[in-house]
Chains A and B, each alone.
Chain A
Amino acid sequence: MKPGALVSLVGQNVVRSKKNFLMSGFGIIVGISTFVFFIGLGEGIKNVVLGRIFLAGQVEVVRKKFDTGLTESDSLFGIGGTRPLDAQVARELSAIEGVTGVFPKMKFAFPARGWGGKRLFGRDVWAEIIADGLEPEVVATEIEQPEQFRDWDADIACGDGAACPDGRTCQAGKCERQACTYVDPKDEEAAPATPPACPGESYCAEDTGRCETPIPVLVSNNLLELYNGSLATAMSGGAGKMPRLSKQAVIGFGLNVTFGKSFLGQSKKAKPITRRLKLVGFSDKAISVGVTLPIGYVKRLNAQFAGEEAAATYHSIILEAADQGRVPAIATKVKAMGFDLADKTERAEQAGMLINVITLVFSLISVIIVAIAAVNISHTFFMIILQRKREIGVLRAIGASRGDVRLLILGEATLIGLFGGGLGALAGWGATRAADLLGGRLPDFPYKPETFFAFPAWLWGAAVGFAVLFCVVGAFFPANAAARLQPAEALTN
């Protein structure tokens, strides 16, 4: 049969049996709307959990840990243990199939403490500083001003139009720090008219007597979520009330840090020094709780306060996978190389699996609804074929083959599936909007998303395809029964 004729006949048949089909299609609409709702919910939750809480699509490699029950160490009583994570290991890991990026991370191997925040909190806040470092190019595409997240203490070339940052002058093609006179901040407060010793953002460091550029740092998106969702909320009723902060409000935030000394202890390798940090952006690759510096700073500080070995060994290496599906194979390969996965990676895998299982269970419910609807559709078609038996005989007499009759019935089922699937998807989407509206009225909590749902493109195709498939399956036996009718038998009905 010609496609145009098929479409025309199918359309006319569906229109004249619309009452029967509306009843049967209702089940499809309900089933598909629940399918869209639950898959959308599962994807939405997965986005939050794996995209913001845990970072999916990444594998964080650490040295194998030995747990004695009391302590955890890199070797068992000094015996065995995996190789330290160094540049050679990073190269080996980059060779694993499916790995598109290798990002070494190095943590502070010495104590540090910081203070500041008077502008934001009304008073200075003191805290232990936890920090790590990574290569600036790793986050270059993720932060708004990547040029600010760089190692200012590395050699900076100048001349031929290239200027030096504040507090530095161009000497023999290199930006050299200007000499300055350190003034204690307390004295500065007492005599505010004193002109600053260093220009712009630069400041005079006590230990070097030169103008230093603030060390750029990144913080995790999660940290602001945790602060706003937990700390600010917890402190909202007390005397030490802390404001909720936006990203824009804290960009440029400055903090003084003493390296080599904290509330818990002091480095024995070198005398503590004080520097300024400046927040320049947010990144999911930054340390969860703490600050992330360009790795060059961490290497130099580790060498200064913890020794050369600490400066050459990474604490973890993040491997970025080409896609989420490659993560399990990469994880297996990493373990085979004798390394371990960070707890976060393990938890992400478990969380992803749990969400998938829950989504699957709810999706099964929608599958059952659609399957019941398909049985109903099957009954409807059997009834319709009985009603149209003589008509089928006439069609056969004037030239319709068995295949044509089968195609007509399955065409009607396809059309019902398209309509049922389309309306079901629309209804499901409407239900998700309603759920989001209700969810918006819930009090704030960490990681509260703007929407609880996500709709990957395949979901719409799957919803309609799923509806069509079940309708066609439901109509398959009636269509075959109709096709098997002998024309003479049908005409004598």
Chain B
Amino acid sequence: MLGLRPMIRLAKVRKRYRTARPDELALRDVDLEIATGELAAIVGTSGSGKTTLLNLIGGLDRNYEGRVEVDGRDLGGMSDRDLARFRNLHIGFVFQQFGLLEHLSAVENVMLPSHFVRGDSPVSDARARAVEALTALGLGHKVDEKPRNLSGGQKQRVAIARALFFKPKLLLCDEPTGSLDSTTGRQIIETFQALNAEGYTVVIITHEQRVSDAARRVIHIEDGRIVDPGRTN
């Protein structure tokens, strides 16, 4: 079910890296809207700007021109502290290399977002919630395992459990199947589809056909421009 309000809205977004030439833009006047509840794939060749785009949507990079809104909030107008809080509670990240802390167990990795909660959002049952998230993803028997003892697919599911800890509105995934074999990759894609069916807005950066095939909308980016904004199937 797609919402009426866009979850993501970019208007005239430009991005140039500090080390780049003045005319070398990573993103060029990008206008984009992704509705609440969409499962969108952003595809493009290497260096096309898709990861840069994801970083801006996720509030991981604040050096840009234009306007980036997520869930109606202008990310450019937020302080570092507010933006960190927004990421903490409203955005879940899944990375190609999983981004797990090797010295922590699976459940401790999943609980990590609870450590950074501020103000009036105390988390008293963090471990129970983390175990529940892991169990839901079929890892109930691996909660105390260190990442080095988990397979690639299991690691990615731990990362997904962590991303879902606060049940965010938006799930941003950067090449989530890039380090996985085809079978495991398919399982992960199915997980994202299931999450989308539950109401999560999922945006996946990928260059893999099988991933884009699974998405309900495919956005093409090329040389920093949205060349095809795609349509929701």
Q: Are B61 and A488 in contact (CB under 8 A)?
A: yes
Chain B residues in 8 Å Cβ range of A9:
115
How far apart are the CA atoms of A441 and B162 in the complex, in Å? Answer: 66
Q: Are B113 and A398 in contact (CB under 8 A)?
A: yes
In whole Å, how far is B112's beta carbon from the nearest beta carbon of chain A? 6
Jot down 10 A-B pairs with beta carbons below 8 A, ordered by A.
A1-B118, A390-B97, A390-B99, A396-B87, A399-B89, A401-B81, A402-B84, A404-B84, A489-B61, A491-B99
A91 within 8 A of B: no
Within 8 A of A (CB), among B59-85: 60-63, 80-81, 84-85
B2 within 8 A of A: no
In whole Å, how far is A392's beta carbon from the nearest beta carbon of chain B? 11
The residue in chain A whose Cβ has the minimal distance to the Cβ of B166 is A399
Task: Determine the interface band of chain B, counting residues with CB < 8 A from chain A.
Answer: 20 to 34
Q: Are B99 and A394 in contact (CB under 8 A)?
A: yes
Chain A residues in 8 Å Cβ range of B84:
396, 399-402, 404
* A404 and B116 in contact, given A390-B99, A399-B84 (Cβ under 8 angstroms): yes
Task: Determine the interface band of chain A, counting residues with CB < 8 A from chain B.
Answer: 20 to 34
The binding surface of chain A is classed by DSSP as: helix
Q: Are A2 and B62 in contact (CB under 8 A)?
A: no
A395 within 8 A of B: yes
* A486 and B61 in contact, given A9-B115, A394-B95, A399-B87 (Cβ under 8 angstroms): yes
How far apart are the CA atoms of A403 and B84 in the complex, in Å? Answer: 10
Q: Are A398 and B61 in contact (CB under 8 A)?
A: no
* A397 and B117 in contact, given A390-B99, A402-B80 (Cβ under 8 angstroms): no
B11 within 8 A of A: no
A417 within 8 A of B: no
Residues on B lying within 8 angstroms of A by beta carbon are 51-52, 55, 58, 60-63, 80-81, 84-85, 87-89, 93, 95, 97, 99, 101, 103-104, 112-118, 162
Residues on A lying within 8 angstroms of B by beta carbon are 1-2, 5-6, 8-9, 12-13, 15-16, 390-391, 393-404, 486-489, 491-492
How far apart are the CA atoms of A121 and B114 in the complex, in Å? Answer: 83
Q: Are B115 and A1 in contact (CB under 8 A)?
A: yes
Partner of A488, one of B55, B103, B117: B55
| Top-5 shortest CB links A-B | A399-B88, A5-B115, A399-B116, A401-B84, A488-B61
Q: Are A401 and B80 in contact (CB under 8 A)?
A: yes
Chain A residues in 8 Å Cβ range of B51:
492
How far apart are the CA atoms of A395 and B88 in the complex, in Å? Answer: 10
How far apart are the CA atoms of A406 and B168 in the complex, in Å? Answer: 26
Q: Are A487 and B60 in contact (CB under 8 A)?
A: yes
In whole Å, how far is A398's beta carbon from the nearest beta carbon of chain B? 5
Q: Are B63 and A486 in contact (CB under 8 A)?
A: yes
How far apart are the CA atoms of A5 and B124 in the complex, in Å? Answer: 12
Q: Are B115 and A397 in contact (CB under 8 A)?
A: no
Which of A6, A390, A400: most chain B Cβ within 10 A? A400
Q: Are A399 and B60 in contact (CB under 8 A)?
A: no
Q: Are A398 and B87 in contact (CB under 8 A)?
A: yes
Which of A5, A393, A394: most chain B Cβ within 10 A? A394
* A399 and B101 in contact, given A491-B60, A491-B95 (Cβ under 8 angstroms): no
Q: A397-B60, A401-B81 are in contact. List 7 more A-B contacts (CB 8 A).
A: A12-B104, A393-B60, A398-B93, A398-B116, A403-B81, A487-B60, A488-B52
